[in-house]
Structure 1
């Protein structure tokens, strides 16, 4: 089997049998195409540990971060494990190889006041698009959704959101979870529901649609949110994941319940959620530095 055919077969299994999301499959495709390119004339079945170490060193020298390299190695490791089950390779050349460590960066989050400002009514825009955008942005901040989770919502999800104050989303690795929907988000969703049919194509299942009447793209959601932040004069670039970070940080600051935030975010490990305790400490440290007599400089 050629390298290209092996990659195609693996991606097909990810999509059709393991039910990975299109976004995940696309990421794997990109990472495996890079592997094939780096291997050049060397067949994948003949790659050894020293080959992979050289690839990692080469990409690190080109500026690829440790986090990106770790993701690449994870994709490659899974691919070679799959090849091993088919007796194409005898050993996994990625075993024992670790990516260089990168400095940890805390996620950017809006302040409570900035989040409230961002979610103020947009009186100047097209009323239908304004209602749609308000519903999307409120839902991001209300429920801590990922971009892909929000874009994938179908119209029937609206009923449970409005009547029960909760919504079912499909997260990473096709894991479903139930998240709460706050009162402001429910109001925005109800306003959008009243106008959606003026924009949506016949038989379109998506909850959020574009001007063409079809499911809104990830890129359009990003652009609409960034545009709104610029209109309001917010000092930083605002993207959907920033609203997810803001949701987590603000709920944790108010409740201190790390496990509940983990459940609402859909994190498999609480270690992923603990980063928000650092954000909370940063806030406390700033208050301390500005208020404590012995801390003032």
Structure 2
């Protein structure tokens, strides 16, 4: 071991804490005192058997880590293939860095570029003319991407395939305004159903299922005959992975049984919405039926816990967005505000 003064005035420590056959440590310091303190500490750790050599550099690419995650865990997820494609696309947009070099900066810069529309050309399909603005990337979408990639490192750590901190563990999600939640009034529902019945009886029945049980369009559209019995619809393979059964009328059960299987009715519903002239927020075409069920259920005096079970929400917090439709919700505000309370004489 030695401490050598270099030509630039600094001091270099050159030692082998674990003996001649152990790893060689070389490090430079501004002063000789700093070099001596470091050398004494390193040599002391080596004598006590506590010295750990620098871990081997992880040369795997980010896409390799994603592939390993998919093979060991992602393939078991309900939408694992779709998740893998999204993760690989993210990695490629970031330049597919090596694991040893991947930091929060890669993702935060990628996120900023996405918000600025740098990768927008990738979303332009064959049906879009040049010069048209592609669909913008929302903050909510980027928050999902952050959660997906962070989960990859968390899972690999559990499997012993990743050591150290999660590179995205301290990245904060973006804040954004709560989206508008549209629902149909009683006056809008009947004209919509009439148009659907005239164009596609099956689409009309699917819409009635959604309005009667709060089902997602895909859940209603994919129903099999065995799932409808005893005036109940048994939903399986749901988004939350939990089965649920919702009661229906005998009349609706007869309508369902008469036209099963439904097939793809999504396009027919969109055409009916356009024909009626409904103005719906982006991304809520068929989902407006689920919102309509939940909103009217609460307005008609339903309780929030039952609604949670009917909708199949994993947590009550997800269902609470419908609480304000309850007749009693914040009702006392009308009578207890300072303009309503008369001053004492």
Shared fold (TM-score, shorter chain, > 0.5): yes
Find the counterpart in structure 2 of residue 263 from structure 1: 309
Find the counterpart in structure 2 of residue 204 from structure 1: none
Alignment of 1:136-175 (within 5 A): 136-158=206-228, 160=229, 163-175=230-242
**Greater percentage in helix:** 1
Indicate the larger mover: 95-104 or 182-191.
182-191
Higher Cα radius of gyration: 2
The alpha-carbon distance between structure 1 residues 192 and 277, as it changes in their structure 2 partners (threshold 3 A), is: same
Deviation at 1:249, TM superposition (A): 0.6
SS in 2 for 1:247: helix
- 1:11 aligned to which of 70, 74, 94: 70
SS in 2 for 1:42: coil
Distance 1:88 1:69 in 2: 24
- 1:74 aligned to which of 147, 157, 163: 147
- 2:272 aligned to which of 219, 223, 228: 228
Distance 1:190 1:284 in 2: 42
Q: Deviations over 1:179-215 (max 9, x none)?
A: 222455324213314xxxxxxxxxxxxx322xxxxxx
The alpha-carbon distance between structure 1 residues 254 and 274, as it changes in their structure 2 partners (threshold 3 A), is: same
Find the counterpart in structure 2 of residue 110 from structure 1: 184
> What's the TM-score once normalised by structure 1's chain length?
0.73
Deviation at 1:250, TM superposition (A): 0.7
Tell me, which stretches of 5 or more residues in structure 1 are unaligned?
Answer: 194-206, 210-215, 289-293
Contact 2:63/2:96 (CA < 8 Å) preserved in 1? no
The alpha-carbon distance between structure 1 residues 165 and 106, as it changes in their structure 2 partners (threshold 3 A), is: same
Larger RCO (CA under 8 A, 6+ residues apart): 1
The alpha-carbon distance between structure 1 residues 73 and 112, as it changes in their structure 2 partners (threshold 3 A), is: same
- 1:272 aligned to which of 288, 313, 318: 318
Q: Deviations over 1:117-162 (max 9, x none)?
A: 222375644xxxx33222211111111111332243223213x1xx
SS in 2 for 1:178: strand
1:46 maps onto 2:101 in alignment:
yes
Deviation at 1:233, TM superposition (A): 3.9
Distance 2:85 2:75 in 1: 18
Query: CA RMSD for the aligned pairs?
Result: 3.0
> What's the TM-score once normalised by structure 2's chain length?
0.64
Find the counterpart in structure 1 of residue 10 from structure 2: none
